[in-house]
Structure 1
Amino acid sequence: MDIFINNKRVSNEEIDAWEFKRLKYQYQFFMKRGYDLTNPSEAPNIKSARKDMGRFKASIKPEQLRRILKNRYKIGNLISKMTALLSRGKRRYSMTEFFIPTTLSPERVMDDIKKIMLENTQEHLFMNLATNPDHFVLLGIGDNIQEVVEMTGGSPLPTRFFAHYGDESGLTSSRSEGYLVQLAGCAKLEDGTVIGGVRHQIKREENGIRFKALVEFPSMVPKFMLNKHQYHLACEFREWLGYIIK
């Protein structure tokens, strides 16, 4: 799998370094709240640390994770709402691209991505928590709706929002030329405020597929936060796509 940020190939080691930094942050966050965890070493087995954190978060019920994070995501949601209102519908994009040699069709891959997002099997629930240290709750809660509690790439605070796949309200991106398969939708707060969205796309390319993970943020979000979110996308989608293509 080749991963590209700003048209430049990034190594797994670079993504591992980002992931390890976020793992340590989350370990410390939970340890300060009385949970008995072993902080990963300075020279980690990243796969082992990733699974350990995933198992730990999966052992806590979603309603308990919401309680732990509620005061913080209430502030994060307020900031997101104000940022969206001040941006007046204008958007900035955070995007990471992947090329994966495979014979699987774009339709099959995107269908599997959607299943991971929306079908609450034990395997999917664990995978969604383990793929990124900054994931806390990822649950399908209705027809094409996913509840998400996470810290976006550069944010110091979590946000709780609802991804409405198939609802492109407020999206300003468009499907790129040649990308015939997409999963697009807006992100809404519980009160219905649209704070962004996604437009993930796939196309066939030579002996494989090219996957474009694109997230829309309000234009007032600082550029450095969008840049950091590119690593958030690299971290989670290399695991999801790797699982599908294995």
Structure 2
Amino acid sequence: MTPMIFVIDGQQVSKERIDVWEINRIDHEYRFLTKKGFHFSYEFPQLLARHDVAGARQEMAAMKAAQSPDTFRQLLLPKYTLGNAASHMAALFSRQRRFSVTDIIIPQSERTPTEVMTAINDIMLINTAAHRKINLATNPDHFVLQETAKNVQEVFEITGGSPLPTHFFAHYGDEEGLQSQLSKGFHVQAAGTARLADGTIIGGVRHQIKKEAAGLHFRALVEFPALVPNTMIRQHQYHLACEFRGWLDAVL
């Protein structure tokens, strides 16, 4: 994997801590999916036991990619109905937003910020079999990530430390209601609203990247309703570190 430095709340976080977060989430999804009748290889428990993050990640992604998106929509319908209701209520009663932010430093890269952001956007917003597997592999809490209209991405995931999945649509280029600003020194961004299927805005994103020394500085930023608890904001910082190290590694 491309060498990266992770910074959360101004403190450097080791790759190993991100690995532990990821393997724990893979194990969580493995236990849930096996109870629902999905099958993994006989070796998969050993991958988890020896913390083989790369091996477990790829098998989990391959298993999910072998299913249709409708499989997960139907499987998790009761749970994401509750999750969406909670998101709707939090947005309704929150005038302010809270930001979950993770910084990722790539010490060495000849690629430009525009090239990197464009390549990540292509993976997120151009539906191919290869892109689907990358999107599923970047985070074990991803179930569906695909384009449904121009610059609109369907997202079906477990967000941060939430006990429930959420099903929403990221509308890139639509900044309605966003409260974050482009950070000083950053000039390339992917910003947009997060909306439920009925159009209710439940948050948004403002991901940013800039050239820094001989490499790059990527800032992943997600806006949540102010009522979302600290634990979820904190857990989502690790969620962001996990998924964006995957997307960045895929394009660098």
What number of residue pairs does the alignment pair up?
Answer: 244
8 Å contact from structure 2 (residues 23, 48) kept in 1: no
AA of the residue aligned to 2:17: E
Could you tell me which residue of structure 2 aligns to residue 15 of structure 1?
18
Aligned equivalents of 2:52, 2:235: Cα separation in 1: 23
Scaled by the length of structure 1, the TM-score of the pair is 0.97
- Please state if 1:176 is matched with 2:183: yes
Could you tell me which residue of structure 1 aligns to residue 232 of structure 2?
225
Aligned equivalents of 2:176, 2:77: Cα separation in 1: 26
- Please state if 1:86 is matched with 2:93: yes
- Find the partner of 1:118 among 116, 125, 138: 125
Could you tell me which residue of structure 2 aligns to residue 163 of structure 1?
170
1:19-60 deviation digits (Å, cap 9, x = unpaired): 011001100111111122243432221100000000000011
Return 5+ residue gaps in structure 2 as ranges.
Answer: none
- Find the partner of 1:24 among 12, 24, 27: 27
Aligned 1:182-197 pairs, distance under 5 A:
182-197=189-204
- Find the partner of 1:104 among 111, 116, 124: 111
Aligned equivalents of 2:137, 2:112: Cα separation in 1: 26
Could you tell me which residue of structure 2 aligns to residue 46 of structure 1?
53
AA of the residue aligned to 1:109: V
Aligned equivalents of 2:18, 2:54: Cα separation in 1: 12
> Where does structure 1 differ by over 4 angstroms across 4 or more consecutive aligned residues?
none
1:108-138 deviation digits (Å, cap 9, x = unpaired): 0110111011001111100000110000000
What RMSD, in angstroms, separates the aligned Cα atoms of the two structures?
Answer: 0.8
| Secondary structure of 1:65's aligned partner | helix
Could you tell me which residue of structure 1 aligns to residue 7 of structure 2?
4
AA of the residue aligned to 1:163: A
Scaled by the length of structure 2, the TM-score of the pair is 0.95
Return 5+ residue gaps in structure 1 as ranges.
Answer: none
- Shift in Å, 1:145: 0.1
Aligned equivalents of 1:57, 1:177: Cα separation in 2: 39
8 Å contact from structure 2 (residues 170, 193) kept in 1: yes
AA of the residue aligned to 1:5: I
| Secondary structure of 1:138's aligned partner | strand
The percent of aligned pairs where both chains have the same amino acid is 51
Aligned equivalents of 1:5, 1:214: Cα separation in 2: 11
1:80-114 deviation digits (Å, cap 9, x = unpaired): 000000103x1000000011120111010110111
Aligned equivalents of 1:102, 1:204: Cα separation in 2: 9
8 Å contact from structure 2 (residues 48, 56) kept in 1: no
1:145-191 deviation digits (Å, cap 9, x = unpaired): 00000000110000000000000011000001110100000000001
- Please state if 1:95 is matched with 2:98: no
